[in-house]
Structure 1
């Protein structure tokens, strides 16, 4: 299973009312969790599956790992990509990444991953897909975007350089007591009694793909729902079902695919050939 399977499943069974979808299957309480379950169903081909045991069995066949908001990624496809789901409320909203900087790929030796994720299958690195859903307070999905980290985020050293510079700067402040931490820093014994401490955390954020790719894509606001995916040409050519996908969209008017050029996240003057897939209803 891959991104093209997910898109075909979405087009065959589009879901806009995420709350109704979730409630009818008793799957999640929060809308962020409900969106994640829907994205999983897209990739697993279980959008119309109502039997819990059947769905669980299919998930075990398709996915090697499922995490949560504190243990990214949200899920990994066996011998395939990782997926991170993000919910925002408005078309112009940014993505809150909290203490985790953007990922262009994920690596099995990363200290940010759980042991369960690292050993879920035999792997060293995976492409990561950011699935960004615009889900306003009315719980109706307005926009869904799928974009690969390699086309969206810079390489890891860009972010770690800034993080390490800040952390080293904190460590050089004289007259404070520090504790080793995975955060930017922790200062102990701030007050005379020595009972107060200060945690210094990074709170990362990134512009949402609608803003990042506004030079090639604009949602049709007259439509109830819009979908957009960007797949760089190197990745697209590795997808074994691309012929099936091209045949799937050939005679449809609601979904299109075109060749575009996008900015390289590591060098914006360098353009990368990609496929832009659009769908609306």
Structure 2
């Protein structure tokens, strides 16, 4: 089974960051967003060097249980492992648009935002969630931040309380017809003819990990930067084989350090983590 340590190892060894040329040449991407998502899938599946489409798809089938839908999280689910959200930015520090899905520490089987196909793609209840945030130019991936939701976002109740309060407040408006919805609210038949409906949607944003964790990493002038933050408890639970492969890397610009980060639920407390970087 693959994991984030295997993905980092594969990225270090691949060293091709011209992802638009790489994936458009293989007829697998029409945009930088598609190219970035394919790059992440290949990193986790160890299929960077796979030129045979059938072989690559077979590996995807072995490693992943879900490969996403356009409007519902997540983008990728590792079979028996973590879930992955891929976000692309063309500005290094720009906030991430999460739209109607608030930030998450993890992905839950009970979430109303996931599809039934995702819910049933394997037997699962909760998956740790990795945010993979790629900063790209028109041709290359310039940086990739990989952070776990548990080190990045507050607990679900923090966001759900806001969402529920807004939804309940909307329902106090008199003399309107409300409909069930996964959004903040929906009001039907607003006008006397009953022909106008109002959809009320949340548009969540979260600060870029580059800004959130600027006390851990200062950007360099290198062509590519990989920055990965893994809670220490999570890191320690990965297979010894994966940890040994990663800790045996001697590539110039690669490092693994023990660090502490602010707890997303209480910044007065610190969390132990591994900070893994590649700057080349």
TM-score strictly above 0.5 = yes
**What's the counterpart of residue 233 of structure 1?**
232
- The alpha carbon displacement at 1:115 in A equals 1.7
Task: Return 5+ residue gaps in structure 2 as ranges.
Answer: none
CA distance in 2, matches of 1:151, 1:38: 23
**What's the counterpart of residue 86 of structure 1?**
87
1:37-57 deviation digits (Å, cap 9, x = unpaired): 110000000011111001001
- The alpha carbon displacement at 1:139 in A equals 2.5
Counterparts in 2 of 1:103-118, with a 5 A limit?
A: 103-118=104-119
Counterparts in 2 of 1:165-204, with a 5 A limit?
A: 165-204=165-204
- The alpha carbon displacement at 1:262 in A equals 0.3
Tell me whether 1:63 sits opposite 2:64 in the alignment.
Answer: yes
Query: Given that residues 227 and 277 in structure 2 are in contact (C-alpha distance below 8 angstroms), is that contact kept between their aligned partners in structure 1?
Result: yes
1:156-212 deviation digits (Å, cap 9, x = unpaired): 111110000000110011232222211111122222322111110001110010000
SS at match of 2:68: strand
Q: Structure 1 stretches (4+) deviating beyond 4 angstroms?
A: none
Q: Which moved more, 1:267-276 or 1:15-24?
A: 15-24
1:100-131 deviation digits (Å, cap 9, x = unpaired): 01110011122222122112222111101100
CA distance in 1, matches of 2:133, 2:252: 24
- The alpha carbon displacement at 1:140 in A equals 1.4
Query: Given that residues 112 and 182 in structure 2 are in contact (C-alpha distance below 8 angstroms), is that contact kept between their aligned partners in structure 1?
Result: no
Query: Given that residues 187 and 198 in structure 2 are in contact (C-alpha distance below 8 angstroms), is that contact kept between their aligned partners in structure 1?
Result: yes
Aligned length: 277
CA distance in 2, matches of 1:130, 1:272: 18
CA distance in 2, matches of 1:14, 1:174: 60
**What's the counterpart of residue 268 of structure 1?**
267
**What's the counterpart of residue 252 of structure 2?**
253
SS at match of 1:73: coil
SS at match of 1:116: helix
SS at match of 2:186: strand
Q: Which moved more, 1:168-177 or 1:184-193?
A: 184-193
**What's the counterpart of residue 280 of structure 1?**
279
**What's the counterpart of residue 164 of structure 1?**
164
CA distance in 2, matches of 1:23, 1:167: 43
CA distance in 1, matches of 2:75, 2:106: 14
CA distance in 2, matches of 1:187, 1:145: 40
CA distance in 2, matches of 1:219, 1:47: 26
1:203-255 deviation digits (Å, cap 9, x = unpaired): 111001000000111121x21111100001000000112122112x2x33220
TM-score, normalization: structure 2?
0.96
**What's the counterpart of residue 141 of structure 2?**
141
- The alpha carbon displacement at 1:14 in A equals 2.0
SS at match of 2:93: coil
Task: Return 5+ residue gaps in structure 1 as ranges.
Answer: none
Query: Given that residues 9 and 245 in structure 2 are in contact (C-alpha distance below 8 angstroms), is that contact kept between their aligned partners in structure 1?
Result: no
CA distance in 2, matches of 1:252, 1:135: 23
**What's the counterpart of residue 43 of structure 2?**
42
CA distance in 1, matches of 2:73, 2:82: 13
CA distance in 2, matches of 1:209, 1:65: 25
